[in-house]
Amino acid sequence: MTTTAVTHIASLVTNDPSLGNGTPLGLIQDAAVVIDGDRIVWTGESSKAPATDNVLDAAGRAMIPGFVDSHSHLVFAGDRTQEFNARMSGQPYTAGGIRTTVAATREASDEQLSANVAHYLAEALRQGTTTLETKSGYGLTVEDEARALRIASRHTDEVTYLGAHVVSPDYADDPAGYVDLVTGPMLDACAPHARWIDVFCERGAFDGDQARAILTAGRAKGLHPRIHANQLTYGPGVQLAVELDAASADHCTHLTDADVDALGQGDTVATLLPGAEFSTRATWPDARRLLDAGATVALSTDCNPGSSFTSSMPFCIALAVRDMGMTPDEALWSATAGGAAALRRTDIGRITPGARADLVLLDAPSHVHLAYRPGVPLVSAVWRGGQRVE
Ligand SMILES: [Zn+2]
């Protein structure tokens, strides 16, 4: 194997509190990282780095773990520019929202859908995202949901079955029948292609009892639960997530004190998706309240064509710092280690020996610049699994 050292890193985020300055970020100044194959084998002060086959001088730039984006909806076709334009122009918009995407996705070929996933994955990678979860949810038939997951699994290991995104228009008069489909034949067809099961628990989508039935059925087929919870209104989603040991409750915008307490005490990560609030001009989730209660918080893009069409984790970090009460350090942790926790992964989201060599070099002396210089493309190099990819 060839070893490579990246030296003279002005500020290295390891996410190991036993290293460096002792904060959760485990910051090391004037640091080096050594890669062997697809793994990190050494992390420490640059002056103490072992001899390696290759050396790359970071010349005073900062390095962070690759971003872990634990929530996206990339298997889609079609365009919803008009909907966004109307929303941002204060005009009423009466077209079908999510149904527009369902219709376009059903009509698209496998090749079109796969090319679309590849396109947005590459876009995310250029912005430093080295792990990305994605979901089905725009097919809503047995065949279309299974197809979406088959396509997604060609591009990422983190694949989520979201047949319960909304009740299919085909079952508008029979939501119970749709839940039977989602927990029966559709689950059977989808489970082999997915790791996770998700449900949109919200007024107008699926209520608490339906969500429980869906997640429980998925768990019986070997899928682990995660949940879209408390995005638009207060509801049972967050507490159901904690009760079922879901890896993550995503959105968490409208929370009661009991919801916050449950997240503070349980193992379920609270994943906040500020791109959605930004793109719908909605109320921000209160990250400070969750952090102060002891909850583990992740940040993610929710990249989807309707409510959050961004693949940029740096943008989400900037929003979280500016509008959600997070410090720059907390936001960086949540976009890396937090995302890993939301996917129950320990091999990513940190720069320590044994972790996968997913590294991002910033064209800046510190990770704080991700919030300090919003909208500026600061990612200057990306490694995934030890391979330089950008
Ligand atoms: Zn979502």
> Residues 6 or more apart from 175 whose CB is under 8 A from it?
167, 210
Q: Which residues are known binding-site members? A: 71, 73, 80, 138, 165, 228, 231, 302, 304, 306-307
Point out which residues pair with 11 in neighbouring strands.
29, 62
Q: How confident is the model at residue 310 (pLDDT cuts 50, 70, 90)?
A: very high
First to last CA, the chain: 21
Examine the pLDDT at 93 and tell me if it is beyond 80: no
Q: Give the pLDDT confidence of 170-212 residue by residue, as tens digits.
A: 999 999 999 999 999 999 999 999 999 999 999 999 999 999 9
Q: How far apart are CA 130 and CA 81, in angstroms?
A: 27
Angle at 200 between CA 135 and CA 313, to 5 degrees: 50
Q: How confident is the model at residue 1 (pLDDT cuts 50, 70, 90)?
A: confident
CA–centroid distance, residue 275 to ligand 1 (Å): 11
- Which pLDDT belongs to residue 252? 97
CA–centroid distance, residue 186 to ligand 1 (Å): 20
CA–centroid distance, residue 216 to ligand 1 (Å): 20
Q: Which residues are known binding-site members for 4-imidazolone-5-propanoate? A: 80, 138, 165, 231, 307
CA–centroid distance, residue 304 to ligand 1 (Å): 7
The full set of domain ranges for the chain reads: 1-64+349-387, 66-341
CA–centroid distance, residue 334 to ligand 1 (Å): 17
Examine the pLDDT at 294 and tell me if it is beyond 80: yes
The whole-model pTM stands at 0.97
- Which pLDDT belongs to residue 177? 98
Burial of 172 (0-12, 13-18, 19+ CB in 10 A): exposed
Q: Give the pLDDT confidence of 106-159 residue by residue, as tens digits.
A: 999 999 999 999 999 999 999 999 999 999 999 999 999 999 999 999 999 999
Fold of 1-64+349-387: Urease, subunit C; domain 1 (2.30.40)
Task: Kindly provide the b/e burial profile for residues 15-35, where b requires at least 16 CB atoms within 10 angstroms of the residue's own CB.
Answer: bbeebbeeeebbbbeebbbbb
CA–centroid distance, residue 218 to ligand 1 (Å): 18
**Contact, 247 vs 276, CB < 8 A?**
no
CA–centroid distance, residue 30 to ligand 1 (Å): 39
Second CATH level (architecture) for the domain 66-341: Alpha-Beta Barrel (3.20)
Q: What percent of the chain lies above the pLDDT cut of 70?
A: 99
* Number of other residues whose CB lies within 10 A of the CB of residue 368: 18
Q: How confident is the model at residue 241 (pLDDT cuts 50, 70, 90)?
A: very high
The closest of 329, 330, 245, 273 to 296, measured between CA atoms, is 330
CA–centroid distance, residue 161 to ligand 1 (Å): 12
**Could you list which residues have their CB under 5 Å from ion ligand 1?**
302
**Contact, 357 vs 381, CB < 8 A?**
no
CA–centroid distance, residue 13 to ligand 1 (Å): 28
